[in-house]
Structure 1
């Protein structure tokens, strides 16, 4: 059986390993049949399992779980070793359950996003223009900010803190106001194109419909709303009793900051303009030119620092 498993690590052109596979496959089949007749379940099951798939191709923990069950049926088993294997698996299982529980907060965020999209679809097909308040309460979710934050937190935070996780899921305080800002900035940059393509009225159109204001006045109102919301965000950021760490807070704010850059002069995300591309290229790839004369002067032998 060990030789059979080893044969699956062969390279192209290794004829000896190919012969080993053929030899062991034949004898394992014979062994499986004979041991089944003898009711030697442990060996028969192992032979059958090996012929189905080699260990090299299997998920290790799934195979470990299967092996524990089979080993327990063995007549002459090491009880201490079996208990140790069970204990180790239980510990790993508990870790997996904790991780699954954490990523469940993520499933809820996806469901909230889908529900927010459905609300907007209902508005659109019903030709309903929501109030600005209605739009923003739904829009802070549909913009995807809470979901992005939760995904990043679960992917990059070690250890994950239950109190922070619960707060992030609540969409309150700093999260509430930060992603309303994100929604508003997105609307300023994208609403004109999205309305032409066929989409639900955005915060600008909602305000115009609600008050009778012109688009220019509505846009200025939105900008002032963002400025006032940033004041609320600043207060939460300075709160020493906040359940969120400064690292998590800064991540949330960075998402909002990116929106200001991305949508300042139009839709820099969905319809990338050259200005947006140039700035990103400068950030990631373009080196800062150095003063050659200065470099020569500072690196010449004998130059005093």
Structure 2
């Protein structure tokens, strides 16, 4: 998932040094405010009480409110069975509310969970001309709910595009008159709508806001705080282990030009696999992200074309004897690549997971994609926009990261779903395009190094003879198309929904890393506050 940078062969990296260094190796977190054993026992008790809350919800609106709050508080993964049952009941029950917030909330929850619901449900809020009525602008909470719900649109739903524009305009105009916590929620949504927001970051904000709500449930609030702090304690242990692993790896391979981004790569895997029981998948994915970063930085204007070809040949052989093919400075990296993939396979096998062949194959594919890009640069080939995008989706590593992350999940991701991802379905391509386009816009906003591969922005400008502003606007519309395609993927084969959700989780990381035309991976100080919120600062009880 590394973004494109450029270095001069033989010289140290010109990238920013790590923000973190040995911080997580040496960091001693604050002691948990209560002993961990007591906290876990308390969590079990509170989860039982939440199950009783579900049983006490007799009306659809109450069920929706409970599900929504659990999602905002980051607790929904504990109650998947109860939530699925509640949503089935909500879908099947008659619903005739004229409350905009309730109608939009029902629409959003059902679509998020793969249940198709027509945008016609919003027709009751339109006038005789088919436009949304002005009187609904007096309901800011309902307007915010509509705005977030409409972002689950698919291709061809112009009525939802109009709803987004309508709600955005009126929410902007009323920002100064809103009170917290609604004012804060509107500000966040206008920056990034809820369906495109990474939920663990939203959880931190919502926990502090939920207690301001007079109708908040103290059971849910206590459980959310305990759950977050327990998770954070686990993640700190993983970060310590990851940082030690990286320190040993980087010292051994001795590639000074590589970006030191182990913490940021861990965050990337955390976005996809945040649940406690996916610790192995999370750590494996983080290590894979680091290895891909090394590969990316090596191919991107560091290795010569001959060295790229050597690396490709060695990777296709995938054998220790292929080390002799490589230049001296890459031999140790290749040895470590083989060794780490073998260790990952051994770790997976301890839990009966023998899908390591998928990971090995994806790495071999990735070397091929990088080689093709290097050949284009070497031959001064100027690809068409479509050619650049098709290869760029692969070099941005979305297919590789998706396959490897899901393979590491073991039985939680059935073989059928994994084969679906390997087949490069529309959801993977859409996610890859979002990543590529956002990355390229961020890269184009920096001074471009000579000799690097042309970005999608440059290819579009050259092919259509337009300015950077026109090209970026066009690519922005293609990013929107990508989100629509991801939304559409929710409504396919329900057996594939768990895999689709992991692809969507990965896509939610892209605004975090590339939002606002910035590259927060390469310029990682931009992620410091987010990492501190998630991994360093516990939530006061």
Q: Identify the TM-score tier after normalising by the shorter chain.
A: 0.5 to 0.7
Equivalence for 2:487: 234
Equivalence for 1:144: 397
Give the whole-Å Cα distance in 1 for the aligned partners of 2:445 and 2:390: 21
Equivalence for 2:529: 278
Equivalence for 2:519: 267
Equivalence for 2:440: 187
Give the TM-score of the pair, scaled to structure 2: 0.33
Give the whole-Å Cα distance in 2 for the aligned partners of 1:267 and 1:288: 28
Tell me the CA shift for residue 242 of structure 1.
Answer: 5.0
Give the whole-Å Cα distance in 2 for the aligned partners of 1:192 and 1:109: 31
Q: Secondary structure at the match of 2:411?
A: coil
Equivalence for 2:504: 253
Tell me the CA shift for residue 144 of structure 1.
Answer: 0.9
Give the whole-Å Cα distance in 2 for the aligned partners of 1:197 and 1:160: 43
Task: Summarize deviations over 1:102-129 as a string: whole Å, max 9, x none.
Answer: 3222222112211111111111111122
Give the whole-Å Cα distance in 1 for the aligned partners of 2:501 and 2:372: 30
Give the whole-Å Cα distance in 2 for the aligned partners of 1:179 and 1:110: 17
Give the whole-Å Cα distance in 2 for the aligned partners of 1:223 and 1:263: 13
The 3 A distance-change label for structure 1 pair 109 and 243 is: farther
Tell me the CA shift for residue 152 of structure 1.
Answer: 1.2
Task: Summarize deviations over 1:32-64 as a string: whole Å, max 9, x none.
Answer: xxxxxxxxxxxxxxxxxxxxxxxxxxxxxxxxx
Return structure 1 stretches of 4+ with deviation > 6 angstroms.
none
Residue from 486, 496, 499 that aligns with 1:244: 496
Higher relative contact order (CA closer than 8 Å, sequence separation 6+): 2
Tell me the CA shift for residue 133 of structure 1.
Answer: 0.8
Tell me the CA shift for residue 194 of structure 1.
Answer: 7.3
Q: Secondary structure at the match of 1:269?
A: coil
Give the whole-Å Cα distance in 2 for the aligned partners of 1:258 and 1:194: 24
**5+ long unaligned stretches in structure 2:** 1-348
Aligned alpha-carbon RMSD (Å): 2.3
The 3 A distance-change label for structure 1 pair 163 and 134 is: same
Give the whole-Å Cα distance in 2 for the aligned partners of 1:190 and 1:231: 24
**5+ long unaligned stretches in structure 1:** 1-94, 291-305
Task: Summarize deviations over 1:172-224 as a string: whole Å, max 9, x none.
Answer: 22111111111111111124447326410111011011111111211111111
Give the whole-Å Cα distance in 1 for the aligned partners of 2:495 and 2:374: 35
The 3 A distance-change label for structure 1 pair 197 and 261 is: farther
Equivalence for 2:233: none
Query: Any conservation in 2 of the 1:174–1:237 contact (CA below 8 Å)?
Result: no
Aligned positions of 1:1-305 closer than 5 A: 99-100=353-354, 102-193=355-446, 195-196=448-449, 198-239=451-492, 241=493, 243-246=495-498, 248-265=499-516, 266-273=518-525, 275-288=526-539
Tell me the CA shift for residue 159 of structure 1.
Answer: 4.7
Q: What is the number of residues matched between the two proteins?
A: 191
Query: Any conservation in 1 of the 2:358–2:404 contact (CA below 8 Å)?
Result: no
Q: Secondary structure at the match of 1:117?
A: helix
Give the TM-score of the pair, scaled to structure 1: 0.57
Q: Secondary structure at the match of 2:448?
A: helix
